Chain A
C-alpha cells in the first residue's frame, strides 16, 4: 500500500496532499511560509506591479501629515527653514536621480551579454522598477510640496520631515541598487541569480505536477474506498445505463446534444480543492447499486468543467439536491493561459544560453549552468522516485 488507508481523509484534499508532500518530499518543498515571503517580495519587483510603490509613498506622507506618529516627530522645523529645505532637497534628489540613471545606462551599455532576458533578470535582481518608481514619486512629491508650500492644504514642516526620511530611504535604495548592479555584472553572480530563477520556475512546475499526481492518488484512494471503481468515464460514450455528474452543473441539454466543439471551446477550469470526505459521505449514504465509475481529479489539475467525474448507474436515484451538494464539494477557479506562457522563461533561457556559452568557449559559465541543471535533475530524481 502506498499510503496507509484513511491516514489522510480530511475535508480538504489539498491539505492532505500538502501533508503528504511534507512527509514524502521534505527536501523538495520549502515550507509554505518561506514561499509566501518570496512571493511578497517579488510582488513589487515587476514592470507594472512596481507602481504599487506610489500609493505606499503617498500613505507615508499622509501618516506624517495627519496621524503624526511620534517616531516621525523627534525634531521640529519652522516653516521658513522648511521652505528652504524643500527646494534644496528637490534639486538634490533630481541630481542623484539623474546621476544614477547615467551610471546605470553606462553599465548596461558595457554589459557583455545583451539580450532582453539578461536585462530582465538584471532588473529583477537590482529591484530597478520599485526603486525607480520610488525615487520618481519622491521627486514628484517634492516638486508638488514646493509648489503648494504657501497653501494651507498641508503643513510644510511635517511634509519635509516625512520627505527627508524618504530621501534617506531613497539613498539607501540607490546604494543597494549600485551594489547589486556591480554584482550582477559579474558572471558568477549572474549565473547564481539565474539558478535561483530557474529553480523557482522548476519548483513551481513540480509543485503543480506533484499536487496533481498526489491529489489523484489520494482522490483514488478515498473514492474507491466507498466501492466506486475507477473507470474510463467519457463524455461521448453513448452507453446510456449511466447518468453523469460533472463539476460544473450541466445545462439541461448538455448530456445529449453537446457537440465536440462545444466541449473543446469550453474554458478549462483549475481544481483548487476537493472535499472528498463529504463526497464519500454523500455517496455512501445513498447505498449505490451496480457498477459505478469515477474519474480521478488532482489538485491544480486543468479540466473541462462539464466533463463527467462520476457515472452512476441508472438503477440508483440521486436527488437533484444531493447532486448539487456533491458538485459543491469541488472548489475551482478559472484558468488563465497567460500565466503558462511566462512560466518557463528562465529555464528556456538557460538552455539556449548554455549552448551559446559552449560556442564562446566559456568553460566557467558552462560549468555554472551545468551545476544548475544538476540541481534540477536531482530534484526531479527525488520526485520521480517518490511518485
Chain B
C-alpha cells in the first residue's frame, strides 16, 4: 500500500523558515514559542512510535543552531539569540533524554527502556552533529557548553555497575539452565541500561579524535587546538575507559554503520558532485594514535581475555597505527611537539620510539595470540576434501604420460607397495603456516591459492622419472630425423612390433613435423577419433605423436610399440593412485619436532612454547604416488638422438 501522504507534511518547510526568521529578527520570544512547538511534536512522535518523523523534527535542533552560528559567529553584539539557540538545542536534547522520555511510567521495564534507547540514540546523533557543527564554525565557547551537556547525559548509575558485576560473575561460572536464563535477562538489562552511556562515551572519543585530525590537516590552528585540549582535560575519563573496545567499534562502524560521523567533512563540497568525505576509519585511528602519544600513554591490551574477533581488529588497528607512526616520525616534529609537550627533537623522537616499541611488542603479542587461537582449532574436513579434489584435478589435467598408460592399458594397480617402487612427491612434510587454510574460523581462515599447480607439479615429476627410466645408452645417432624415424619404424615392424607412439619434444616437433608439409603427417587425425591426449601432436604414418612441452627428452626421440615396451606398477589406495593426507600436529609431536630441529625452530630468540605454537600452526602434508615404471621389452622401442 502506498504511504499515506499526511496533510501536515507540507508544514515542515515553513516551520524551518519560521525558525530562521526568528533568528534573523532576533525575536527570542517567537523562537521560544517555536521551540515549544518542536518539543510538543517530538513528544507526540515519541508517543506514537513514529521514529522517522521524530528524527526529522529533531534535525531542527541542528538546523537552527547552525543557522544562528553561521549568522552570528564573530559578532560581539547580537549574541542573545545565538545564546538562546545553542542553549535550546543542547539543553533541549539533554533534558529530553534525561527527563523527557522517562515520563514513561514503567520505564524500568526492558521493553520501554529499549524504546527510550532508540529515541535517545536519534537525539544523541543530533547532538553529536551539533558538536561537529560548533567545531566547523569554531564556536569554541559553545563547544565547551555542548560537551558539558553531553557529560550530563552520562548516567553511570551504581545500579548498572552492580548488574555488570553480577553478569561478569555469572559469565565465569558453570551454569545450570535456570542460571543461564537469569544471565540472559541480566545481560539484556545491562545492554539496555548502558546503551546511552556507551553512545555518550563514543561521541566524546569521536569528537576528540576528529579535532586532532582537523589540526593535522590545518583546519584548526595551534591556539584553537590548545583551547580544545584544555576543555577536554576534564573529560579524559571518557576517552580512557573502554578505550580499545570503543576504538574497535568506531573503526568497524565506519564500514557498515549509519553513524553521522561517517559523513563528517571539513570543507563544503559543491552540490551535485560526487565526493567522499574523509574516511572515519582513518581519522579515528589517527586521532587515537595522537591521543596515545600525547600522554606517552600505554595501550592496555591483555591478550588472555580476547576473542578472535578482537585479536583480528587489534591486528589491523595496530598495523595501521604503525604506518601512521612512520609518517609522524619523519615529518611530525614541527606540528606536534607542542601538543606532545616535547620541546626538543630528541624528546619527540624518544616519545615516538618508545611508543613504537610498544606497538611492536603488542603486535608480537597479538600475533602470538592469533597463532595460539589457530593452534587450538580442529581441522575442518570439508575444506580438506575440497583441497584434495583440486589437487587431484591439477595432477590429472595435462598428464601426458598417464594418458598414454591409460590409453594403452598397461597399468597394474596394486593393493600393496610394488617391489622397488619409488615415492614421487612428499610425505610427512611439515607445511608451516598452513593450518589457517584448513580451519573453519571467520576471522583467521584464509584460502590457499594455486592448488592445482601443486598437483600439476607432481605430474611433471612423474613424467621426468618415466623419461629418465627409459632413456639408456642404446641410442641411435641420426642425421635426418624423419628418415631415421622411417628406418626405425621399418626396423621395429620387421621385428614383429607395431610402432604406436612417437615421443618428441615440442620444439623438435615443430621443426620436424609441424612446419613440414609431409604427406604422411596429419595433424587432424584426432578430429573424429578424439584421442584423450593433452599434448597430442598429430600422426605420422598413422603413428601417434606426443609433443612433450617439458624438456626432459632433450634431444631424444622415442619411437615405440608402447604396449610391448612399457608397464606401470602403481600402488592404489581406495582407487586413488595419489595419496593425499593433511593432519594435525599435536602438542607432543610439536615438542619433538622442535627438539629435533631446535636450531631452525628456536631462531629469533623465541621460547620453546612459542615455537611449539608455531609448529602447531603448520600441518603434516602427504602428497605422493608410489609407482614403478618397467621396461617390458627393450627391443620394442628405439631411441633416436640428434646429438
Contacts and interface: CB of A to CB of B under 8 A. Distances in A.
Given A213-B4, A380-B6, A384-B50, A374 B30 contact: no
Given A213-B1, A377-B44, A384-B48, A358 B7 contact: no
A336 to B, nearest CB: 20
A185 to B, nearest CB: 23
A45 interface: no
A174 B259 CA distance: 65
Interface string A253-268: 0000000000000000
Interface in B534-578: none
A187 interface: no
Given A359-B21, A366-B30, A347 B4 contact: no
A14 interface: no
Interface in B6-30: 6-8, 10-11, 13-15, 17-18, 21-22, 24-25, 27, 29-30
Nearest to B31: A358
A222 interface: no
Contacts of B27: 358, 361, 363
A380 B30 contact: no
B7 A206 contact: yes
Interface in A347-365: 347-348, 350-352, 354-355, 358-359, 361, 363
A374 B14 CA distance: 13
Nearest to B14: A351
A361 B44 CA distance: 27
A373 B25 contact: no
A151 B8 CA distance: 63
Contact of A352 (B6, B14, B22): B14
A361 B4 CA distance: 35
Contacts of B181: none
A216 B40 contact: no
A226 interface: no
B8 A377 contact: yes
B398 to A, nearest CB: 49
B10 A347 contact: yes
B51 to A, nearest CB: 13
Contacts of A43: none
B1 A217 contact: yes
Contact of A380 (B1, B7, B15, B33): B7
Contacts of B14: 350-352, 354-355
- Would you call the interface of chain B mostly helix, strand, loop, or mixed? helix
Given A354-B18, A370-B34, A363 B8 contact: no
Contact of B7 (A202, A354, A387): A202
B33 A363 contact: yes
A350 B22 CA distance: 17
Interface string B41-53: 1001000101000
Nearest to B18: A358
A202 B13 CA distance: 17
Given A358-B18, A361-B25, A379-B7, A370 B33 contact: yes
A87 interface: no
Most chain A beta carbons < 10 A, residue from B7, B11, B25: B7
A383 interface: yes
A223 to B, nearest CB: 14
Q: Which of B4, B13, B33, B34 has the most CB of A within 10 A?
A: B4
B5 interface: yes
Contacts of B15: 373
Nearest to A370: B37
A367 interface: yes
A385 B4 contact: no
A206 B9 CA distance: 12
Query: Which secondary structure characterizes the binding site on chain A?
Result: helix
Interface size class of A (residues with CB under 8 A): 35 or more
A351 B37 contact: no
A379 B7 CA distance: 9
Contacts of B18: 354-355, 358, 366
Nearest to B24: A359
A346 to B, nearest CB: 12
A376 B8 contact: yes
A374 B40 contact: yes
Nearest to B49: A385
Interface string A212-231: 01001100000000000000
A373 B40 CA distance: 12
Contacts of B5: 209
B30 A363 contact: yes
Contacts of A348: 10
Nearest to B17: A355
Contacts of B22: 358
A81 to B, nearest CB: 60
A367 B33 contact: yes
Contact of A358 (B21, B40, B48, B50): B21
Contacts of A374: 37, 40
A123 to B, nearest CB: 25
A227 B624 CA distance: 65
Contacts of B1: 213, 216-217, 296
B455 to A, nearest CB: 49
A381 interface: yes
Contacts of A216: 1
Contact of A385 (B21, B34, B48): B48
A103 interface: no
Contacts of B40: 374
Contacts of A19: none
5 contacts: A213-B1, A355-B21, A359-B24, A377-B41, A381-B50
Shortest 8 CB-CB contacts between residues of A and residues of B: A358-B21, A351-B14, A202-B7, A380-B6, A358-B18, A380-B8, A355-B17, A377-B8
Given A201-B7, A347-B10, 9 more contacts: A206-B7, A209-B5, A213-B1, A358-B25, A361-B30, A363-B29, A373-B8, A380-B6, A387-B4
Interface of B: 1, 4-8, 10-11, 13-15, 17-18, 21-22, 24-25, 27, 29-30, 33-34, 37, 40-41, 44, 48, 50
